Amino acid sequence: MNASLRIALVLLGLLSVGDIAGLAVTDGDHPPYAIAATGAVLGVASLFFVARAWTGSRSAVRPLLALRIVSAVTAAPAFFVHGVPTVAKASAGAIIGLTAAGVLLIGRPTTSHVVTR
């Protein structure tokens, strides 16, 4: 497993744990309980695929990416709903940005076949 994939899996795994923890820290309004519960389910499923990908299963990568992207999309309404606290907006931005970073790291080509002249 190359370094960028390893870093991406750790990052996406930490985001997954954060999704699960979100269920415990919600006040019911920010994020709404339904969003926190959805995030927790997505987090548990994501951790399953992170573990499979870590052990070398390439077939686990696509469902992992899909779950993490859906999770990031559930954070986006924080920017459009009136009355969302600044901290929640910052958290949503971080979730979206870190998810994008993880997706890009997974898609990064390996450099093991460097051609020299």
DSSP 58-80: GGGHHHHHHHHHHHHHHHGGGGT
At residue 1 the predicted structure's pLDDT band, cuts being 50, 70 and 90, is confident
pLDDT, residue 48, reads 98
Q: How far is CA 10 from the centre of its chain?
A: 10
Q: 29 phi and psi, to 5 degrees?
A: -110, -40
Residue 108 DSSP label: S
Determine contact, residues 90/69, Cβ cutoff 8 Å: no
Per cent of the chain over pLDDT 90 is 65
Residue 28: strand, helix, or coil = strand
At a CB cut-off of 8 Å and minimum separation 6, what does 80 contact?
none
Say what the pTM is. 0.85
Query: Does residue 109 register a pLDDT over 70?
Result: no
Tokens describing residue 8? 């991406």
Q: How far is CA 46 from the centre of its chain?
A: 8
Q: What is the pLDDT of residues 12-49, one digit of tens each?
A: 999 999 999 988 988 887 788 888 899 999 999 999 99
